[in-house]
Structure 1
Amino acid sequence: MAFQINIDNGGTLTDVCIMSDDGVKKTKVLTTPYDLSKCFFEGLQKASETLYGAEDVKRLLEEVELIRYSTTQGTNAICERKGPKLGLILDRDAADLPQALRAHDPDVYDALVGDRVAFVETSALDTPEAEVEVVKTINQLTAKGANRLVVSFGGANFHAAEELVKKIVLRKYPRHLLGAVPVLYASDLTVDRNPERRAWSALINSFLHTSMEAFLYQAENRLRDYRTKNPLLIFRNDGDASRVAKTVAIKTYSSGPRGGMEGLKAFSALYGFRDTVSIDVGGTTTDIGQCTEGKVAEIRRGNVEGISVSFPLCEISSAGAGGSSVFKGKDGKIAIGPESVGALPGPACFGRGGKEATITDASLLAGLLDPTSYFGGGMGLDAARAEAAVRTNVAEPLGLDLDAAVLAMSEAFEAKIAAELHRFTTISPDTVMMAFGGAGPLNACGAADKAGIKRVAIPAMAAVFSAYGIGSCDVSQRYVVGLNEHSSEALATALDELKQKAARDMFAEGFEAGSYAITARLVAETPEGEVVHELGESTAFPPALVEAEAVELELNATKSLRQGDGGHVSVSRKAQATPAGTRKVLVPEQGRIDLPVYRLNAMAPGDYAQGPAILEEDYFTARVPAGWTLAVSDAGDVILDREE
């Protein structure tokens, strides 16, 4: 049996999606933040159990065609400010640059860099005194606590100046020595001439590099022990994948959410939705995106936490509110996040030592979650621990009884999601909200009500939707070089060099020349703005760009793996669904009342039901408030409509 495995590693849960000719299967494991390779292999173990009925990882890795991996760890690390302390080395002419960098996001800048900034005289780097100055600068930064350094110079010759520093560092701090501090040179990462974007790109990449490298190489080495025939592919935030050795850390930032956006595009096309906003609620964050007329917004100079960087990124906004985000009663109101208890210790109800209140604890106390079926029945929930956490952190500080505190937490969570939707997307009367992620469907209708959205879609694969979305990504390598000379000869030379580099890299990915597509374009900075010129068969330099301030050559080598569907799914109400039972649930203004519980895997296409009710699947629960009606589509997805 030919199949592929997609793994999406989140802050709390790691999702596994198994795709084969026989259909799609899914499973989940708890994320182990102290060793991400542990939950990675636990995911493979559970995948083998799902496929074969018993654990057999060896057989699984012998038979699997592709393993794709995406992660929100980079997003979570930036959101929670967890990572190494960075030192930044700038040229002496850039005395104002630290303040300009800090203006992008003072909190992130202070957490990553703080006062660990030093300057060197780039005009004197080829003198004997330069060696002493560079060593003094590095010692100064490491004495302040920097354990990784970033060198980012400005000016037209930034690359040459950084190369001179690199030679000095290699001589004075050879890499084989234990005391050699890791140094990243911004010009190795990007040719972007904008000093702020280039410096921030290097800082973020360096911040994420250590944890990504340690985990991904460890996972890849363990796969080699099983003699896996194909390399581990890392799904990137540009929507494609590559092997570990050809992936830079910043490209893993928001890669998990980007998988959800790929799924959002396909889902919107399937149902004919012209305007869809998405909430992907995980353990640490809620990732928000939008798909309009079949396209998701992607900008050439993307944003990381609002910080402009040199790389293209999909427009996904991460709000610090998820199933494991910390709730506290403070100054007469509820504060949510950005701190998260993640999977370890996790929400108090997990019984793993957590004592903070989370929306997961509140949902259990409200009766929305069934302790016996949560997480596919693989995890019992402790209501007593949840109650203690909510009383201590929310109810008592706000002077509320337990039920009032639980309702207030749900209201605050829904209001925060609605506010973030209005902040990051444009909502119209035709907007559909798509809710996915393990905690996405739970409060989706409540958040939609507060945001003014009247239709909510919950995919059957909602619980592992980002893992599902990466299933058809392409394998690609992307290159960018600056053209110092604006001529056809210079363009032809640069193009030939990039094609040779692409041939080597794609061969390492397992693809011979001719089996992948090559596309190239010129991107020029002009007084009128950015100009893009697509290159076809001709390598003639366009006369209109000769006088441009700067021109970059971009080349993509892409092996297409995507398979278009082209179908359309309809939604109709045919038969009243039969509930699987009832559950006593805390309802605003009504107290605790019995609500019908519908099991999605027991419902057929065309089945429908009215709220108030609970909809359950093995790995997600959705609250259906009064005034909402749910219907199961021909594809087994759930469409909820707000009745007038």
Structure 2
Amino acid sequence: MYLGVDIGGTFTDLVLLDEQGGLVTTKALSTPGELEVGVFNAVQDAAAQRGMTGEELLARVVAFGHGTTQATNAVIERDGARTGLIATRGFGDTLAIQRLMGFTAGVPVDRLGWYSRRRYPQPIVPRHLVREIRERVDHAGKVLVALDEDQVREAVRSLASEGVQTFAVAFLWSFRNPEHERIAARIIGEEVPGAYVSLSSEVAPVIGEYERTATAALNSYLAPKVVSYLDGIEQMLRKRGFKGAFSILNSAGGVMPVAEAARRPVTLVTSGPTGGVMGSVHLAKKLGYRNLITTDMGGTSFDVAIVVDDKPLMSTNHEAGGFHIATPMIEVRAIGAGGGSIARVVDGQLRVGPDSAGARPGPVCYGRGGSLATVTDADVVLGIIDPQTFLGGKMKLDKAAASAAIDEQIAKPLGLTTEEAAAGIRRIVDAQMADTLREVTIGRGHDPRDFVIFAYGGAGPVHCAGYGAELGVPKMVVPVTSMAHSAYGALAADLQFAVEKSLLMRAGGGSRTPADGLVASEIAAAFATLEAECLDAMRRAGVTGEDVQLLRTADLRYRRQTNDLIIPVPAGEIAAATLDDLVARFEATYEQTYGKGSAFREAGLELTNVRVEAFGKARRPEIALVAPSGEPTVGRRRIFEPVAAAWMECAVYNWRELPKDFTVAGPAVIEHPETSVFVAASQIARLDATSNITIEQR
């Protein structure tokens, strides 16, 4: 058996897949402070559905994939380790200075104009915990000033005396010659045995002094909390009978062994949202879709990613907690819009989010102490969520309390009925999510009509009818794993390992041909070294031969620009024709990203980094659900249709009873123990052979 788990702010999601493709999904409330408790609660519930105990189930599991938000939370909450930074003399203020973009890092688009409120982020390494060391390497890797080892030793002792738990070392041009950083790491090990050390030349061996320093510092800052958390989860599983492989989903779309995750916790910053993207990519290939908009609406946030031609859009420069880190990650855009988003009237206007009621106290209808009206409360009042069947009846919701909260806090101040206020809450949050979808599609030169929305998360199926119609996409897919889709992604993802190297080549410009200046032999040699390193990592993980796939990419930009584009490099010999094709694909990607006619080859190009990713194929069974035959039971209830703003008779179905090719016209609700799918009055839904639901406009 195979398990995938994703821990969200409100629920812990689990997917179980057996050797025959049999599927079980379940949810349990997340347990802040004791996350392993929520994990085992979900395991026990899945086991009960298979007629066994949690321990009996774990004993049969051969692989456990886990997506985690622990690294993200540590950055947001600023509760990482006390970290000391050792830098080149004269460059100790790199983290504080950042770049100009530091003022706006992580600031919502609607607040970019609030100049008086711009602030540099709270530091992860206070200035008094930074030590500058006499040493210097030039851009070619030549040692200009030898490392002052005595000064390093003195700095380490001084930092240790101030209670530093972890160390980061970031010397200038260390990616060209890492020897000084390695000597510093040895000295730290001698002075503070067992101390966690991050070297910028290992964590982010690329050009960009600030990004490289921030990546190394964040890696050490996150390490103790992430490592402790992963150890706690794994020990809990092992004590309860689990003997299989335990892997962690990283931010680039693959899983990695716990040992590798412990060495590079910074690669887990977007681990949780990445799971849903990879689960969607995996399913879309089987359904024949190549261009996707993945949408994950949970209890606290709405996460969006774009997949073009089967490939998720990647970024080499990701913002985390106001700092920029230089590790490749799937681009995931998040806003504060979820089932727990709080609605309130401000200056006579209805606003929703971005703050959330979270898991505790949660929405008013949960009956856990929440007093502020939320999106979930609105869905209950509208009749879209049935308070008696929520979570399969395991959790009864208080509709009267939700209605009273919306009436008092929203309806009366705005002079509306309770149902009109609830519809307003829903339409506003749907519009906010649609605006985000426009930013990541139209804002990048993509036509949303060329894409299919994949809707998942606890609230995604409930709301996709709204934000999908608002965006104007022709089709929406609600996967059969939608209620735990990120967990499914952690289960289905391949083993992944990536390494990169900075090359710094300039090409083209003026009268030169576009690829003139790119040195094929140097690029080929760099790829060969990186490929050997990747293959060695795969062998250590027990994956060899045809189960290993290597992907080569290069980072290119026009001269004097600051942002790179990641361009695939085909396997085989690096020849002149290969480089010409590389430039052509860069320019095509540039215009696809920034608009037709934006390419300007006369400026010349810069190749900054080359990268190799290795994927070890995950040999998991495919989902093999057999839809029942016959007519499903149809229920009826009145709902207040949010777009029409009127009461309507609504058909209600049980997802598990629907036969293949079943079609229903809205308004309708298709219920599942972990979620509900709402089909608006203007839409039609159909079930496919593996029980995925497709929604289209009439």
TM tier, shorter chain? 0.7 to 0.9
Letter in 2 for 1:19: L
Taking the aligned partners of 2:48 and 2:454, their CA distance within structure 1 comes to: 30
> Separation in 2 of the partners of 1:66 and 1:471?
8
Deviations 1:321-354 (A, max 9, x none): 1122333332333444343332223222222222
- Residue from 475, 480, 492 that aligns with 1:472: 492
Aligned to 1:261: 277
Question: Whole-Å Cα distance in 2 between the matches of residues 463 and 392 of structure 1?
Answer: 32
State the Cα distance separating 1:217 from its structure 2 match.
0.6
For residues 125 and 322 of structure 2, the distance between their equivalents in structure 1, rounded to whole angstroms, comes to 21
Distance 1:302 1:471 in 2: 25
Q: Assess if the C-alpha contact under 8 Å between 2:81 and 2:223 holds in 1.
A: no
**Partner secondary structure for residue 134 of structure 2:** helix
Structure 1 residue 576: Cα displacement = 9.4
CA-to-partner distance for each residue in 1:366-400, whole Å, 9 max, x for gaps?
A: 22211111011111112344345445654566565
Q: Which aligned pairs between 1:191-590 and structure 2 lie closer than 5 A?
A: 191-247=205-261, 248-302=264-318, 304=320, 308-387=324-403, 389-390=405-406, 394-395=410-411, 402-426=418-442, 427-480=447-500, 499=532, 503=536, 505-506=537-538, 508-511=540-543, 514=545, 517=548, 519=550, 523=554, 536=572, 554-562=611-619, 579-585=634-640, 587=642, 590=645
Q: Aligned in 2, Cα 1:12/1:453: closer, same or farther, shift over 3 Å? A: same
Partner of 1:30: 29
How far 1:227 sits from its partner (Å)?
Answer: 4.8
TM-score by length of 1: 0.82
Secondary structure at 1:256 match in 2: helix
Deviation for aligned residue 1:62: 2.2
Aligned match of 2:172 = 154
Q: Could you say what secondary structure the match of 1:409 adopts? A: helix
1:77/1:628 Cα in 2 relative to 1: closer, same or farther (>3 Å)? farther
For 1:429, what is the secondary structure of its paired residue? helix
The structure, 1 or 2, with the larger RCO (C-alpha pairs under 8 Å, 6+ apart) is: 2
Given that 2:534 and 2:612 are in contact with CA atoms closer than 8 Å, whether structure 1 keeps it comes out as: no
| Number of positions where the alignment pairs a residue of Structure 1 with one of Structure 2 | 620
Structure 1 residues 365 and 194, CA gap change in structure 2 (3 angstroms): same
Matches within 5 A, 1:594-613: 594-613=649-668
Structure 1 residues 299-308 or 433-442, which shifts more? Answer: 299-308
The offset of 1:523, in angstroms, is 4.8
1:342 maps to a residue whose letter is: G
User: Shift of the alpha carbon at 1:357?
Assistant: 2.7
1:535-577 CA-partner distances (Å, limit 9, x unpaired): 75999xx9999xx99876745554322579899x9xxxx9997
SS across alignment from 2:488? helix
Contact 1:6/1:68 (<8 A) preserved: yes
Structure 1: which amino acid aligns with 2:691?
A: G
Q: Which amino acid aligns with 1:509?
A: A
Contact 1:302 1:314 in 2 (8 A): no
2:696 to 618, 634, 641: 641
Q: 1:441-471 CA deviation, whole Å, 9 max, x = no partner?
A: 1111111222222422212221122222333
Amino acid at match of 1:122: I
Name the SS for the 1:441 alignment partner. Answer: helix
Report the more deviating stretch, 182-191 or 31-40. Answer: 182-191
2:602 aligns with none
**TM-superposition CA deviations, 1:293-347 (whole Å, max 9, x none):** 3332224455558965322111221222112233333233344434333222322
* Separation of aligned partners in 2, 1:501 and 1:628: 48
2:98 counterpart residue number: 100
- Taking a change above 3 Å as real, the CA distance of residues 70 and 590 of structure 1, as seen in their structure-2 partners, is closer
Structure 1: segments with no counterpart, 5+ residues? none
- When the two chains are superposed, the root-mean-square deviation of aligned CA atoms in Å is 4.2
Does the CA-based 8 Å contact 1:329-1:394 persist in structure 2?
yes
Q: Distance in 1 between matches of 2:244 and 2:152?
A: 47
Percent identity over paired residues: 26
Question: Of 37, 57, 60, which aligns to 2:54?
Answer: 57
CA distance in 2, matches of 1:233, 1:215: 13
Structure 2: unaligned runs, 5 residues or longer: 107-118, 136-146, 506-518, 583-604
User: Structure 2 CA distance, aligned partners of 1:479 and 1:187?
Assistant: 11
CA distance in 1, matches of 2:298, 2:348: 27
Distance 1:405 1:487, change over 3 A: closer
Give, in whole Å, the separation in 1 of the partners of 2:253 and 2:124: 33
In structure 2, distance between residues paired with 1:10 and 1:639: 25
How many Å separate the matches in 1 of 2:225 and 2:339? 23
TM-aligned CA deviation for residue 624 of structure 1: 2.1
Give CA-to-partner distance per residue, 1:238-287, whole Å, 9 cap, x none.
22212211112222222232222223223333333343322111122111
Aligned-partner Cα distance in 2 for 1:478–1:150: 21
2:126 is aligned, of 97, 116, 131, to 116
Letter in 1 for 2:215: S
For residues 100-129 of structure 1, give each alpha carbon's deviation from its aligned partner in whole angstroms, at most 9, with x where no partner exists: 347346566855417823554432661655
Alpha-carbon offset, residue 99 of structure 1 = 2.9
**Alpha carbons of structure 1 residues 459 and 63: separation in structure 2 relative to 1, 3 Å:** same
Structure 1 position 423, deviation (Å): 1.1
